[in-house]
Amino acid sequence: MTDSGPPPLGPHLQRLRKDRGLTLDDLARMSGVSRSMLSQIERGQANPTVATVWALAEALHIEMADLLGVGQRTAPPRIAVASAAFTPEMRSDDGLCVLKILSPAERVGSIEWYDLRIARGGVLRSAAHARGSMEHLTVLAGRLIVEAGDERTEVLEGMTARYPADIPHCISNNGENDAQALLVNLF
User: For 54-75, what is each residue's pLDDT tens digit?
Assistant: 899 898 988 888 888 765 556 6
Same structural domain for residues 60 and 19?
yes
Residue 105 pLDDT class (50, 70, 90 cuts)? confident
C-alpha separations of 93 from 161, 168, 177 in Å: 25, 18, 20
pLDDT of residue 65: 84
Domain with 38 in it? 9-72
Query: Same structural domain for residues 168 and 96?
Result: yes
Inform me whether the pLDDT recorded for 155 exceeds 70: yes
Q: Note whether residue 2 is domain-resident.
A: no
pTM assigned to the model: 0.60
Rounded percentage of the chain residues whose pLDDT exceeds 70: 93
Q: Hey, which residues does 111 pair with through a beta bridge?
A: 186
Domain membership of residue 98 (yes or no) is: yes
Residue 105 belongs to some domain of the structure: yes
> Which of the two residues, 75 and 168, has the higher pLDDT score?
168
Cα–Cα distance list, 33 to 30, 46, 51, 102, 135 (Å)? 8, 12, 10, 54, 67
Closest CA to 66 of 84, 54, 80: 54
Q: Is residue 3 part of a domain?
A: no
Q: Which amino acid is at 7?
A: P
| Domain final position from 31, 51, 72 | 72
Same domain, 39 and 106: no
Cβ distance 96 to 178 under 8 Å? no
- The torsion angle over the Cα atoms of residues 65, 69, 74 and 75, rounded to 10 degrees, is -60
